[in-house]
Structure 1
């Protein structure tokens, strides 16, 4: 037994070494003195958007995504400096600057030396710069392009770094700690600092749509409804008075366009959050929302094909999504996913909350059945052999148990392995509902966290051919530098000297 354990440990170590060796180490990924430069650069990042997320979104609509039609298609690895499975801070830093960093680090290398980002380089070139995200604008991925801090949780300091960046356009979610309540050294109010720095702040769709390109204009635009953690709503929950990711992108292009060109990073951040919760429909809908934003950029490219580069990638995969499930064997039925009407977040925060209030002390499972059918399409009567939306007995039993836990307001803890594997850190009934619906459609999940699976990178325009092949996420930044007319290398900032 002891010898078997030693052998197993050795095999694991060998596997990790082999995986490390398989990480691309560079090569023909970029070019000094690249013969052409792009005046306009778009970088789209689907947070948590791995290969299966894109494929699921395409299967859901029955047609290729816009990004699937791009001429350049590559595979990108995502490991951090200190862990095979990355987080958004380390991944964002790699894509923004070309250097590996540690988990949680933003805009700095593993030794905490600040590294210059593509956005900062573009600003130095005289380009205008825009940052858009469907999550809070001080979250890890957007912050990786303008902040240099040892922890992604330093939201107040990140917000102040946003103001000091002097970038021209920020849009999407809000700020998580504008007053510095969680900071050890508060610096005042972020929004007040932004106004003092000359930023125009808008937080409603009417004023947002009325914005016009004018000299010296700097904008911070926040969606009127911040659904959770200062983020925009999931696309499936978006109202008419909310601003879509495509609309943020379109307005950014309008306001940033100028003779020197621009750099625009757009993040679909809630793809990741939906995948953490194993909500396939919410993830698919947010992937499609990002693709609609890409379509805005593509229309711009069609007018400026000799001056524009569009790159679309993911920072990592999330949830271990599989296109196939043991219970359905070779069968899939993606159309049934269209019966889901709300995200896991809205179902937990609004639908279940209202149900509890209305049923009072008599919250019986029979009463929740029509609510489940209305929001997820799952049925409790009929023939499961002919209608995959009809629950099988074991599935109804799973929902009954999860319902009891939810009504008891039970919070699942990560130190309880058995229940964590069932529900993660989410409401038991809600996550069980998404699991059952996803499984019946032929989708499976292996994790409530990120995975180390590679992601797809797609490109069109000037220098797009550089993005073919197999390469690391740090190379993605260096390829972009090549097309910006810069030497593809990590650039350390003056503070580190």
Structure 2
């Protein structure tokens, strides 16, 4: 009897050791809820790039409606640090979420040692499931690439594109490819034009909406992107789209249609331009893109209603971006989200088209006063009236800021090494970013950065095993939890924790 008890203890210790060995670095030394039920057959992972709690709250305040992701029964808080930096980048964050591996800034699909780690998507494909990757930015950008590529530097777009062609995933959709012919010379292993590799791998390439709408599951593997790629091969901002464009919800719905099969599927959808809008401190742009992202989640929820006992939906952010605050010194306790309503164009389209055309037509000979009606037309800011009663009226000090920014824009100034000027404009067109700052501040929103921050983000879930996502945990645990719910054994390696980093 005594020997039997010892044996039981030994077996228990061995099981615990196996679980902890498989767990991410942040899971070690603490209790991790391990799902032990029937594996989920259909798994959705939505990543709002740059989407922190302020972005979600501002969107709800603007629309007056609750985001569907905020209605999910499981709601957790997630920390986001990288192995070698407190404030994470998208490559390290996506690797953590995709593989359970805490890694260094810029690395994709590998540990700090550069040892490759398998992603949830790769494991799902190996298990016979179909796999889809959708993003509103280029499909070889950091977040989507972490699910199929393994490179030490996220800028190796050609190598990432080759990895896409070799992935054998079933559906790619959203933005385009950044370096199909290795023009940037980031790869020493040239294999030819990536589009040829993709087609030779059996993919159907679709680049317009009519052909996109006609795709059927019988067409096999597909890569599709929007005809108009606004910036860096990314889809247009939601507020700039026309009926000719394919929206993120439409890409999501088509992915579901293409992936649905008896063996199940894994689908990752990224709302990448939430992040880009926040980098540029454009509240209206990130809000409309957050709405589009949430509408994509609705497509998954509708699918889950048909398969309630087989579906898991997880929604998270990879980090917060911009240091957004829901409050501004100039408005004290006031919030005026309606002031954002008149903005009809993103910062990107305004600077790329409106400002560019103005400069070309006027050659620096037009005054700021001449340009004021254009600002009013696209952003709603007014230059006459009582600023105390109307948040759209520009204050005297803001007018001085706008005039100075206008002069710098007309001179072509953009990259600022001077700290004071960088704090004002970042790396953006001075006039455009000053307009959004004035409008956002008057609405009661403030920005502290043009980069990411380290504030925790929300992770929510519904469906099979969703209760695992309650609580407070590091983003590496997201992969660990999803793998457990999919019946997989996590294949992760020890990262570098903050204590080890500080000791170096």
What range is the shorter-chain TM-score in? over 0.9
Say whether residues 1:206 and 2:210 are aligned partners.
yes
Distance 1:165 1:26, change over 3 A: farther
Match of 1:193 in 2: 197
Secondary structure class of the residue paired with 2:341: helix
Match of 2:352 in 1: 349
Match of 2:260 in 1: 257
CA shift, 1:25, in A, is 5.2
Match of 2:70 in 1: 68
Gaps of 5+ in 1: 1-22, 493-497
Distance 1:476 1:207, change over 3 A: same
Match of 1:428 in 2: 430
Match of 2:389 in 1: 386
Say whether residues 1:398 and 2:401 are aligned partners.
yes
- Quick one: which of 145, 148, 162 aligns to 1:146? 148
CA distance in 2, matches of 1:222, 1:63: 30
CA shift, 1:239, in A, is 1.3
Aligned ranges 1:68-217 → 2 under 5 Å: 68-183=70-185, 184-185=187-188, 186-214=190-218, 217=220
Secondary structure class of the residue paired with 1:291: helix
Match of 2:30 in 1: 27
Secondary structure class of the residue paired with 1:58: helix
Contact 1:43 1:310 (C-alpha < 8 Å) held by counterparts: yes
TM-score of the pair, normalised by structure 1 = 0.92
How many pairs align? Answer: 467
CA shift, 1:35, in A, is 1.2
CA distance in 2, matches of 1:170, 1:491: 28
CA distance in 1, matches of 2:493, 2:166: 19
CA shift, 1:86, in A, is 0.4
Contact 2:324 2:446 (C-alpha < 8 Å) held by counterparts: yes
Match of 1:453 in 2: 455
CA shift, 1:26, in A, is 6.4
CA shift, 1:488, in A, is 4.0
CA shift, 1:361, in A, is 4.1
Which deviations, in whole Å up to 9, do the C-alpha atoms of 1:418-474 show, x marking residues without a partner? 100000000000000000000000000000000001100010000100000000100
Secondary structure class of the residue paired with 1:352: helix
Match of 2:307 in 1: 304
Match of 1:291 in 2: 294
CA distance in 2, matches of 1:442, 1:24: 39
Distance 1:298 1:377, change over 3 A: same
Match of 1:233 in 2: 236
Say whether residues 1:369 and 2:372 are aligned partners.
yes
Contact 1:136 1:230 (C-alpha < 8 Å) held by counterparts: yes
CA shift, 1:353, in A, is 1.2
CA distance in 1, matches of 2:125, 2:257: 17
Contact 1:278 1:434 (C-alpha < 8 Å) held by counterparts: yes
Secondary structure class of the residue paired with 1:444: coil
CA shift, 1:340, in A, is 0.7
CA shift, 1:124, in A, is 1.1
- Quick one: which of 454, 467, 470 aligns to 1:468? 470
Distance 1:362 1:75, change over 3 A: same
CA shift, 1:338, in A, is 1.1
Match of 2:11 in 1: none
- Quick one: which of 469, 483, 486 aligns to 2:485? 483
Which deviations, in whole Å up to 9, do the C-alpha atoms of 1:216-245 show, x marking residues without a partner? 700000110000000000111111111000
Distance 1:26 1:87, change over 3 A: farther
CA distance in 2, matches of 1:178, 1:261: 31
Contact 1:317 1:453 (C-alpha < 8 Å) held by counterparts: yes
Secondary structure class of the residue paired with 1:164: helix
Match of 1:18 in 2: none
